[in-house]
């Protein structure tokens, strides 16, 4: 099924493909796919647990997972396979505008890797993901005032808005190009020029990333890993107490923050999910 390998040295900006060129080729390596679905899961997990009193640790676990995954993706953007590399989807603003115009004219350019519209959303999501997590950590550690809490919530909802636009864009492109892009993020296969597929799926690194994420979740979930300590041992409990105040039953929050004062105060562990890579 896979076409002959393409040397990653040719990872120049990807040019549009015409319908006649199209053949199924391997485009997304396994680390990119694992990254994507783990990020989407962690995002959903962080969002859904944000207001769960007594579940702050789960919220932080998912938030830290996002940090680790995004740090991994930034590294992978330089050393990954052709279509995962940033230089294959950094487009000047003019190209983004002309791509969006081509969509409106119902004659969309087809790109093998990320199209200019998707690329813009991707960089914004990665950046806002980091801002959301950083403001969440700052809130947790109480290094700022109320405004940080507000900033965290605003960043989180901004990210949600971007995700909605992202998913809408994916569905629209899938429809316009008659290509199931969601499936391609699972299989790694897209329509492109024969001979321009990637050489290998980097399966070992993809599996290592998958097990790192699952291991992090299971260690955090079972308590084998002190998530509170990872997020910041200096937290005195105000953020948790405030959450507790919203609901009289939220006393578990304060206890969780107490546990933050554990012996493990290595902040660098925030990048735990990526340690294997």
What is the 3-class SS of the chain, one letter each residue?
CCCCCECHHHCCCCCCECHHHEEEEECCCHHHHHHHHHHHHHHHHHHHHCCCCCCHHHHHHHHHHHHHHHHHHHHHHHHCCHHHCHHHCCCCHHHHHHHHHHHHCCCCCECCCCCHHHHHHHHHHHHHHHHHHHHHHHHHHCCCCHHHHHHHHHHHHHHHHHHHHHHHHHHHHHHHHCCCHHHHHHHCEEEEECCCCECCCCHHHHHHHHHHHHHHHHHHHHCCCCHHHHHCCCCCCHHHHHHHHCCCCCHHHHHHHHHCCCCCCCHHHHHHHHCCC
Q: Is 230 near ligand HEM (CB under 6 A)?
A: no
Select the span of 7-15, 135-143, 203-211, 219-227 touching ligand HEM (CB under 6 A). Answer: 135-143
Tell me which residues in 58-117 interact with ligand HEM (CB under 6 A).
59-60, 63-64, 66-67, 73, 84, 114-115
Q: Which is nearer to ligand HEM, 6 or 243 (CB)?
A: 243
Q: Please provide the distance, in angstroms rounded to a whole number, between the alpha carbons at the two ends of the chain.
A: 28
Could you tell me the smallest distance in angstroms from the CB atom of residue 166 to ligand HEM? 5
Nearer to ligand HEM, 6 or 55 (CB): 55
Question: According to CB under 6 A, which one of 103, 165, 172, 181 is a site residue for ligand HEM?
Answer: 181
Residue 202 sits in the site that holds ligand HEM (CB under 6 A):
no
User: Is 208 a binder of ligand HEM (CB under 6 A)?
Assistant: no
The most distant pair of C-alpha atoms in the chain lies apart, rounded to whole Å, by 64
In the complex, least distance from residue 225 CB atom to ligand HEM, rounded to whole angstroms: 14
Stretch of 8-16, 34-42, 194-202, 206-214 contacting ligand HEM, by CB under 6 A: 34-42
Number of residues that bind ligand HEM (CB under 6 A): 46
Closer CB to ligand HEM, 36 or 95, in the complex: 36
CB of 83 to ligand HEM, least distance (A): 8
The answer to whether 63 and 232 have CB atoms below 8 angstroms apart is no
CA pair distance 250, 13, nearest whole angstrom: 52
Region binding ligand HEM by CB under 6 A among candidate stretches 8-16, 37-45, 197-205, 216-224: 37-45
Q: Is 120 near ligand HEM (CB under 6 A)?
A: no
130 binds ligand HEM (CB under 6 A): no
247 touching ligand HEM, by CB under 6 A: no
205 sits near ligand HEM (criterion: CB under 6 A): no
Give dist(CA 87, CA 115) in Å, integer: 13
What is the Cα–Cα distance from 234 to 141, expressed in whole angstroms? 6
The footprint of ligand HEM (CB under 6 A) covers: 32, 35-36, 39-40, 43, 46-47, 50-51, 59-60, 63-64, 66-67, 73, 84, 114-115, 118, 122, 125-126, 132-133, 136-137, 139-140, 149, 152-153, 156, 159, 163, 166-167, 170, 181-182, 185, 231, 239, 242-243
């Amino acid at each position: 099924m896979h076409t002959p390998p393409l040397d990653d040295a040719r990872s120049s900006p990807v040019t549009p493909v015409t319908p006649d060129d199209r053949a199924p080729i391997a485009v997304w390596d396994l680390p990119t796919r694992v990254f994507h679905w783990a990020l989407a899961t962690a995002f959903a997990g962080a969002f859904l647990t944000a207001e769960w009193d007594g579940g702050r640790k789960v919220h932080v676990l998912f938030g830290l997972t996002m940090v680790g995954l995004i740090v991994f993706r930034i590294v992978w953007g330089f050393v990954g396979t052709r279509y995962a590399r940033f230089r294959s989807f950094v487009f000047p603003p003019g190209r983004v505008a002309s791509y969006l115009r081509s969509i409106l004219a119902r004659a969309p350019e087809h790109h093998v890797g990320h199209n200019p519209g998707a690329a813009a959303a991707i960089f914004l999501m990665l950046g806002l993901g980091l801002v959301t997590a950083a403001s969440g950590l700052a809130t947790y550690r109480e290094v700022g005032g109320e405004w940080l809490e507000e900033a965290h919530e605003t960043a989180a909802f901004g990210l949600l808005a971007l995700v909605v636009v992202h998913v809408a864009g994916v569905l629209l492109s899938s429809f316009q190009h008659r290509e199931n892009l969601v499936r391609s993020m699972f299989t790694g296969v897209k329509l492109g020029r024969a001979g321009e597929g990637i050489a290998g799926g980097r399966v070992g690194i993809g599996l290592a990333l998958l097990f790192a994420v699952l291991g992090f979740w299971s260690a955090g979930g079972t308590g084998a890993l002190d998530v509170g300590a990872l997020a910041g041992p200096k937290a005195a409990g105000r953020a948790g107490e405030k959450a507790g105040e919203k609901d009289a039953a939220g006393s578990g929050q304060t206890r969780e923050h107490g546990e933050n004062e554990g012996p493990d105060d290595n902040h660098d562990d925030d990048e735990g999910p990526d340690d294997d890579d």
